[in-house]
Structure 1
């Protein structure tokens, strides 16, 4: 399948190839794997899992699900900007070699740069643990996000699935899910409740993107 959406009978015969990029435990990856197993990912099928961190349990989840998985680590011997581009280019080569059509960043901590953003324009999504455009951007990930939300006195938080563009957490929003902030919340308790919503949002985000791109009939 090329970059163009398939239509008609072909759309029912071949599923869209998806790569999932991860850095840690991989609970959002597991949500996607479970959804695929249950037949809920529309025309999408996970064909490759890539981690930028050795020892990430997400790789074990992929192995247990029978999915091809690989480690592509940043080269920390080169400057940061060069490192990001080098990593992005190696990931691009891997996903192209596998015939991947859509990319999902599911707790992926590295920043993609360069040709991969152009080649997969409009076909990369990310999940972020806040209601963008609030509490996004460089350095805003994990506990930092939830701490900032609580310090700001917000009444509600949640998660956002968005299209990845040249910026950081700046692309068009596909969907959001919200959770109320409770008086006794800590960054950990807030994160735990948002994680539950992320598992729903990441699946819905893939389905939404596949539908928008016209891969389904």
Structure 2
């Protein structure tokens, strides 16, 4: 079972999903601490209501000072909108989800609705999500798991966002379970060979 720190910037929908799946046994993890770079993030309120230690920290350095007090195996970026720099001992243990199939529609500036609008503008007939390890560049770390969704010709960006989020709710916990089963190094070793 992995011990997680969850970093978020917004409403905490992914935190809700993790909490539900940990509670019913579908996610082999424990949330040790939740940190947000946004002081008024609804996700912090939800974390506190669930009983998780919840903190505001606007920078990576401040976040890392908080994390020193907790025993965590992985740091999960759950709608965290800043480029995060982890402490050295957790450098390979940061997991992110991207709302598209990397290497498409990724990199700096491609997050949330920007991604879904770009997918729509290109006329894609599939989209999806990618769970990957994060490194010092946006969306370039080793991929853990990807899943796709079919799109209709008349889907707008909001419809695409809804379809992708629905598959994210399945994919993110499944990817964390795979990391628990295979170990972090497995994924770093399988790329760049």
The TM-score normalised by the length of structure 1 is: 0.81
Quote the offset at 1:40 in angstroms: 2.0
Distance 2:135 2:87 in 1: 7
Q: What is the aligned length?
A: 184
Quote the offset at 1:41 in angstroms: 2.0
Q: Does 1:173 align with 2:158?
A: no
Q: Does 1:161 align with 2:131?
A: yes
1:58 maps to which residue? 43
Gaps of 5+ in 1: 1-14, 74-86
Distance 2:91 2:165 in 1: 27
Q: How does 1:68-83 map to 2 (within 5 A)?
A: 68-73=53-58
Distance 1:111 1:92 in 2: 13
Question: Alpha-carbon deviations, 1:150-209, whole Å to 9, x = none?
Answer: 111211001110011121101111001111111111111110111111111111121111
Identify the structure with bigger relative contact order (alpha carbons < 8 Å, sequence gap 6+).
Answer: 1
Quote the offset at 1:212 in angstroms: 1.8
Gaps of 5+ in 2: 185-193
| Cα RMSD (Å) | 1.4
Specify whether residues 117 and 167 from structure 1 end up closer, same or farther in structure 2 by C-alpha distance, changes over 3 A only: farther
The TM-score normalised by the length of structure 2 is: 0.90
Runs (4+) off by over 2 Å = none
